[in-house]
Amino acid sequence: MDNPADRHRPPLAPPPRQHSFPGAPVPRPVTPGQPYHGTMLPPDFILPYRHDPESPMPEYVPETGETGIVVHAAFYRWTFLPYAYLACKPRITVDGQRIPDTSWGANFIPVAPGLHHVRISTYPSAWAQMRLVIGAPWMELGFADAMIPVRDRHLTRTHYQSPLSKIFAGALGPQPREHFPGRRFYLVIQCMIGVLFAAIAGGILYSALFG
């Protein structure tokens, strides 16, 4: 069955080209600072917000602690209806395995040392999917992937920021972005709505006073 959320996923990173002739270039291993293009990434890898195939891969620096990954998940709290995103939660998969009991804030995920494929999206609750929560997303959105290194007795932090519209990918990286994905687009739409309501109210007031 077709999943409606799939139609709104950002473009996938192009898979590395395969060459069979002697002396041909081979895909590079995942190395921070190198562009995504031509790197040995999973075939369904989804680029984060404001990343393209030529963008350099982010550098994650593990810090001393319990072995694993800490995902800091956040949403934009200053929407028209504040905290509507509480009707959703971050959906996290590591190497294809879905992590249970995830929530906004810090999520510690114990994993073995090595390089891990992490995917995060914003998943609506059953109430939101039935469109019973005003202002909350009703379909899965904000997909973003990262290749995150983990060392023994170290933890690696990553920051996920949910977008303000389904047309944007989620932001995912070692540090949070200054602005949430789609914030400018959201503010423009809100300003247009505000101007429209002001015009309607002005018209009603004018008719009441001078009509």
Tell me: the pLDDT tens digits for 55-73?
A: 999 999 999 999 999 999 9
* Domain ranges for the chain: 4-210
Identity of residue 28: R
What pLDDT does residue 105 have?
A: 97
CA atoms of 192 and 187, how far apart (whole Å): 9
Pair of tokens at residue 63: 């810090």
- b/e code 104-117 from CB counts within 10 Å (16+ = b): beebebebeeeebb
Question: pLDDT, tens digit, for every residue of 12-26?
Answer: 555 444 433 444 445
What pLDDT does residue 9 have?
A: 57
What letter does residue 30 receive in the DSSP assignment?
Answer: -
Pair of tokens at residue 61: 């620096």
More reliable by pLDDT, 63 or 30:
63
Q: Is 66 exposed, middle or buried (0-12, 13-18, 19+ CB in 10 A)?
A: exposed
| CA nearest to 33, candidates 64, 70, 61 | 61
What pLDDT does residue 37 have?
A: 87
What pLDDT does residue 107 have?
A: 98
CA atoms of 30 and 115, how far apart (whole Å): 9
